[in-house]
Amino acid sequence: MGEPDGTPISRSLYERAVRVMPGGASRNSAIREPHPLYAARADGCRITDVDGAERIDFANNMASLIHGHAHPAIVSAVANQLRKGTASTLSTEVEVRFAEHLCSRNPNFEKVRFVNSGTEAVMGALKAARAFTGRTKVAKAEGAYHGLYDYAEVSQTARPSNWGDLDSPASVPVAHGTPQPVLDDVVVIPYNDPERAVAILDRQADEIACVLLDVMPHWAGLCPATPAYASALQRWVGHNGALLVADEVITFRNSYGGAQQQYGLAPDITAMGKIIGGGFPVGAIAGRAHIMEMMNPLGDSYLLPYSGTFSANPVTMTAGLTAMELYDQAQIDHVNRLAELAVGAINDTIKTLGAPASVTGAGSMFRIHMRPDPPANHRETHPDPAAAERLKQFYNRMLDCGILLIYSGAGAISTPMGEAEIDQLVAAVDTSLAALR
Ligand SMILES: Cc1ncc(COP(=O)(O)O)c(C=O)c1O
């Protein structure tokens, strides 16, 4: 199924693609050797590639499709909106309704602005924190991915040769050419290590505008933050005149108002994206009214011009509102329960096989690692070359077993899934891990 000979149409599309796109694609998450697979159609929790192979989709467009593909209510609402126009310079009622809906989900969201991606939402949140505090530095956990904004991406690709001492992790650039002043303005703190993190923050307390926190950073291991770590950062910003910026681009799915509610956090600003777009590109910045008012050109505290041509376009707003109205407590409980089942059964399988693998995750997400103990942070997640190779093989075996994961080994449950899909996932993990031994 996943081998080149079984995928002639994908292969020939790729041969055309590499001539006109670097790597043959517009997003690295689609790239795979010997070539990417191309989607023909998708429905519910299943996706079929152009060569006719159907798989259960646990990738869900990098965890952005909470209702899977082509949910009938979203399709119908979007089709209706398409006929009324896709974007204009006038605002729309659906934008207002969606803003009301999001604000109703969490008291920390007093006002909201829509943007087009998680990257933009994080960028807006960091700019807002700087404008509000008059300080320039932002702190973030080592290895955490927060999108592509220069400041937010620092240290995401840190590796043993350049990550430095844990008491002072290096500001490792992702993009070559990142200006040194950007690196100097990013304070990298270890993840899930409250004592070290606070000691580092204390050293430059007067300069830090905000701490950017994802309580379950996917690329740093999908390890849930310890309550002690999250509350130490919340306390630190409170005592030092800085803001807490929550990145809930992934974790908003974890509970009705985002994972921050499970930790009892009260972030000043929250960045969202992914599932709130109902399958369309989206981002949102939500937070305290007096901070968000800095974006109001008619207000007295207009310190942050922030806009975008396609922001709050009515197609995204319609899809997002429909998706989020459907994502009620019953649906949240449903996907979280399925993930718990999956993690329990995968752990049992790993134990029975004696495989050098482990699982992390929370809410409706899980991530399978090619190391015997679950990692707790970026440094432990970073694979040695042999583990990286095993992960590639594991991912391809899972494709052969009819399961599409994210290439990190992570998976996201969607609401159309049931126990049958979890059984198929676990059976595929069993077969794939056994084949690696
Ligand atoms: C935690 C987190 N923040 C921000 C982003 C960036 O979102 P986008 O890809 O929509 O720009 C991502 C994307 O995967 C993410 O996982």
C-alpha distances out from residue 108 to 5, 104, 387, Å? 53, 10, 41
pLDDT at 129: 98
| Residue 130 and residue 269 in one domain | yes
| Residue 182 and residue 294 in one domain | yes
Q: How far apart are CA 81 and CA 64, in angstroms?
A: 21
- The average pLDDT across 84-101 equals 98
Centroid of ligand 1 to alpha carbon of 353 (angstroms):
34
Residue range of the domain that includes 310 = 72-326
| Residue 148 and residue 212 in one domain | yes
| Residue 305 and residue 428 in one domain | no
For the Cβ of 143 lying below 6 angstroms from any atom of ligand 1, the answer is: no
For the Cβ of 248 lying below 6 angstroms from any atom of ligand 1, the answer is: no
In DSSP terms, 41 is beta-bridged to 48
| Residue 62 and residue 115 in one domain | no
- The average pLDDT across 195-214 equals 98
Peptide bond into 173 cis (omega under 30): no
| Residue 157 and residue 266 in one domain | yes
- The average pLDDT across 70-93 equals 98
pLDDT band at 2 (very low <50, low <70, confident <90, very high): very low
Query: In terms of Cα–Cα distance, which of 129, 108, 105 is closest to 212?
Result: 129
Q: What is the CATH number of the domain that holds 390?
A: 3.90.1150.10
Task: Write b or e for each residue in 302-315: b if 16 or more Cβ atoms lie within 10 A of its Cβ, otherwise e.
Answer: ebbebeeeebbbbb
| Residue 142 and residue 223 in one domain | yes
| Residue 261 and residue 290 in one domain | yes
Final residue before a domain boundary, out of 326, 358, 385: 326
Ligand 1: atom nearest CA of 281 is 10
Query: In terms of Cα–Cα distance, which of 181, 198, 190 is closest to 158?
Result: 190
| Residue 286 and residue 153 in one domain | yes
Q: Alpha helix locations (H) across 42-179?
A: 60-63, 72-84, 93-105, 118-133, 150-153
pLDDT at 6: 87
Tokens of 45: 């929790």
Tokens of 128: 């807002």
pLDDT digits (tens, 9 = 90+) for 313-346: 999 999 999 999 999 999 999 999 999 999 999 9
Q: What is the CATH number of the domain that holds 285?
A: 3.40.640.10
Taking every pair of C-alpha atoms in the chain, what is the biggest distance, in angstroms?
65
DSSP 8-state code for residue 383? P
What total of structural domains would you count in the chain? Answer: 2
Calculated CA dihedral for residues 50, 51, 55, 60, nearest 10 degrees: -20
pLDDT band at 1 (very low <50, low <70, confident <90, very high): very low
Tokens of 393: 């093989």
- The average pLDDT across 286-298 equals 98
Q: What are phi and psi of 387, to 5 degrees?
A: -70, -35
Residue 89: count of CB within 10 angstroms of its CB? 5
Residue 96: count of CB within 10 angstroms of its CB? 12
Give the rounded distance of the alpha carbon of 139 from its chain centre.
Answer: 18
Say if residue 216 is exposed, middle or buried (CB neighbours under 10 Å; 0-12, 13-18, 19+).
Answer: buried
pLDDT band at 4 (very low <50, low <70, confident <90, very high): very low
pLDDT at 214: 98
Query: What stretches of 214-352 adopt beta strand conformation (E)?
Result: 243-247, 269-273, 283-287
Give the rounded distance of the alpha carbon of 220 from its chain centre.
Answer: 11
* Residue bearing the CA closest to ligand 1, atom 3: 146
| Residue 94 and residue 60 in one domain | no
Centroid of ligand 1 to alpha carbon of 107 (angstroms):
23
pTM value surpassing 0.95: yes
Pocket test for ligand 1, best of 29, 138, 146 (most atoms within 8 A of CB): 146
Do the strands 243-247 and 208-213 form a parallel or antiparallel pair, or are they unpaired? parallel
Final residue before a domain boundary, out of 287, 308, 326: 326
For the Cβ of 214 lying below 6 angstroms from any atom of ligand 1, the answer is: yes
pLDDT band at 5 (very low <50, low <70, confident <90, very high): low
Q: How far apart are CA 29 and CA 49, in angstroms?
A: 16
| Residue 35 and residue 120 in one domain | no
* Residue bearing the CA closest to ligand 1, atom 2: 146
| First and final C-alpha spacing in the chain | 21
Q: How far apart are CA 269 and CA 138, in angstroms?
A: 13
**Token pair 């103990």 in the structure block, residue:** 373
Pocket test for ligand 1, best of 116, 154, 156, 274 (most atoms within 8 A of CB): 274
Final residue before a domain boundary, out of 326, 351, 373: 326
| Residue 81 and residue 147 in one domain | yes
pLDDT digits (tens, 9 = 90+) for 351-390: 999 999 999 999 999 999 999 999 999 999 998 999 999 9
* Residue 437 predicted with pLDDT over 80: no
